[in-house]
Amino acid sequence: MVDYEKIIKEYGTPTYVYDIDTLLERISYLRSKLAGYDLVYAVKANTFIAKSLEENVDRYEICSPGEFDICNKLKINHQKMVISGVYKDRPTIENMIKNYDDILKYTIESVSQYELLDELTRKYNRKINILIRLTSGNQFGVTESEVEELIKNHQNPLMTIDGIEYFSGTQKHSLVRIEKEIDHLIEFVSHIENDLKVEIKEIEYGPGLPVFYYVGDEFDEDAFLAEIKRILDKITKKKVSLEIGRSIAASCGSYLTKVVDMKTNKYGNYVILDGGINHLVYYGQTMAMKIPHYEILPKRVGQEDTYNLCGSLCTINDFLVKNITTQLLQKEDVFIFKNVGAYSSTEGISLFLSRDLPKVVLNHTGGGTKLVRDNIKTSELNFPNNLI
Ligand SMILES: Cc1ncc(COP(=O)(O)O)c(C=O)c1O
């Protein structure tokens, strides 16, 4: 349980709170529903909880030098890392191959990434394992014929091709689409195995598991995951790893933002919050039209009114919720938006208007709360250095 009153008193707003108990319960739940599959945490969803997952995920998907830097400083086991990402720059990859003999797994997103790793493994006599990312028809990964060519021409004994990586998008609700993807992957992999006489040992698949953010959008997740498992079980005799970000991280997070001003005009009641869409991201642009899960402190019973909840950016798009009917509001009331553990802290347009980044607090029943990032002044990031 998160003691929001205490957190508000101690840390103020705007603040993200990530509840580690909820996170670990979520992992156990996903493990129980997707038994037999490795879980790969896509670090991009939330870097602050990465360390807390160390005993609970099989691997970390790292897609940039910055994500590597964070995980490395957090002393996350290198053997649990898969170095991924559409742009693998030479200095970063050379540093890894040269200096980290315990980083074992890399993905290949392009022919030139293959060539880079081929060159560097030979140069430093370093053994690695690779997954070739198959494209889903965009800038990521390589085509089927490129996968075939890479495998056919592969001659580097230092690089073992473990298998295929495939990710086609996030927040996927359609089981039909997921089943089609898996059927196609099975077909493609068996074609490779039969025609090229190589074994594909592993498929790393990103199912893009959905999170239902809004009131009324609830779904039977047990049944949904049972279907996902049935579909994945069609893949036989291979290790299957599931790259997941959103579905692991979302439920543990809440975002606390305070009412700082209120006004009424002929179009309605407007509430100005000290946060905004620079900090709060669910998915896509639908946000303000729907009602997310939230609480207000202090609670008041009785009369209600309808409000537009706005952030503190200079844009008419900065609506957190439109036309919400709720308890009568006053300045200093705090909204607690739920399910914000994935992507909010990493995907928000957080530099806009040079507003400070929120604090980040980890909550743990055993250890109480811990401030893991103080506010950061984005005015310093937006400042033109060496000018005056
Ligand atoms: C390659 C890859 N794998 C996994 C993920 C995580 O997706 P999700 O958060 O939908 O689980 C992403 C997200 O962008 C991704 O690009």
The predicted structure's pLDDT at residue 348: 85
- Identify the bridge partners of residue 253 per DSSP, sorted by sequence position: 18
Q: What percent of the chain clears pLDDT 90, i.e. is strictly above it? A: 93
Q: Which atom of ligand 1 is found nearest the CA of 165? A: 1
Kindly give the pairing relationship between strand 294-297 and strand 239-244.
Answer: unpaired
Q: Where residue 285 falls among pLDDT bands split at 50, 70, 90?
A: low
Interval 288-311: pLDDT, tens? 778 999 999 999 999 999 999 999
Interval 224-261: pLDDT, tens? 999 999 999 999 999 999 999 999 999 999 999 999 99
Q: Where residue 287 falls among pLDDT bands split at 50, 70, 90?
A: low
List the one residue out of 251, 263, 246, 255 whose CA is nearest residue 320: 255
* Secondary element (H or E) of residue 21: helix 20-33
Interval 10-46: pLDDT, tens? 999 999 999 999 999 999 999 999 999 999 999 999 9
Mean pLDDT of 265-277: 97
Reported pTM = 0.96
Q: Where residue 100 falls among pLDDT bands split at 50, 70, 90?
A: very high
List the one residue out of 278, 295, 366 whose CA is nearest residue 337: 295
Token code pair at residue 322:
């439109």
Q: Where residue 60 falls among pLDDT bands split at 50, 70, 90?
A: very high
The rounded distance, in Å, linking the Cα atoms of 315 and 31 is 42
Which of 148-157, 275-284, 343-352 reaches the highest mean pLDDT? Answer: 148-157
- For residue 312, pLDDT over 90 is answered with yes
Mean pLDDT of the chain: 96
Angle at 183 between CA 182 and CA 185, to 5 degrees: 60
Q: Is 194 helix (H, G, I), strand (E, B) or coil?
A: helix
Task: For residue 166, give every residue at least 6 positions away whose Cβ sits within 8 Å of its Cβ, in sequence order, or none.
Answer: 133, 134, 136, 141, 181, 185, 203, 204, 205, 206
> Which residue's C-alpha comes closest to atom 13 of ligand 1?
170
The predicted structure's pLDDT at residue 334: 98
Residue extent(s) of CATH 3.20.20.10 domains in the chain: 20-250
Task: For residue 328, give every residue at least 6 positions away whose Cβ sits within 8 Å of its Cβ, in sequence order, or none.
Answer: 300, 302, 303, 304, 305
Distance of alpha carbon 383 from the chain centroid:
29
Ligand 1 pocket (Cβ < 6 Å) reads: 42, 44-45, 61, 167, 170, 206, 208-209, 243-247
The predicted structure's pLDDT at residue 44: 97
List the one residue out of 286, 211, 219 whose CA is nearest residue 245: 211
Specify whether the CB–CB gap between 30 and 255 falls below 8 A.
no
Mean pLDDT of 266-275: 97
User: Which ranges of 164-289 does DSSP label H, i.e. alpha helix?
Assistant: 175-196, 221-232, 246-249
Task: Using most ligand atoms within 8 A of CB, pick from 142, 167, 242, 247 the residue to mutate for ligand 1.
Answer: 167
Q: Where residue 388 falls among pLDDT bands split at 50, 70, 90?
A: confident
Residue extent(s) of CATH 2.40.37.10 domains in the chain: 251-377
- For residue 338, pLDDT over 80 is answered with yes
The predicted structure's pLDDT at residue 263: 98
Q: Which atom of ligand 1 is found nearest the CA of 249? A: 9
Q: Residue 61 C-alpha to ligand 1 middle, in angstroms?
A: 9
The verdict on whether omega for the bond into residue 298 sits within 30 degrees of 0, i.e. cis, is: yes
List the one residue out of 141, 97, 102 whose CA is nearest residue 119: 97
Interval 145-168: pLDDT, tens? 999 999 999 999 999 999 999 999
Mean pLDDT of 176-205: 97
Q: Where residue 217 falls among pLDDT bands split at 50, 70, 90?
A: confident
Q: Residue 246 C-alpha to ligand 1 middle, in angstroms?
A: 8
Domain covering 251-377, topology: Lyase, Ornithine Decarboxylase; Chain A, domain 1 (2.40.37)
Domain covering 20-250, topology: TIM Barrel (3.20.20)
Q: Which atom of ligand 1 is found nearest the CA of 171? A: 10
The rounded distance, in Å, linking the Cα atoms of 22 and 17 is 11
> Which residue's C-alpha comes closest to atom 2 of ligand 1?
167
Q: Residue 273 C-alpha to ligand 1 middle, in angstroms?
A: 30
Q: Where residue 286 falls among pLDDT bands split at 50, 70, 90?
A: low
The predicted structure's pLDDT at residue 376: 96
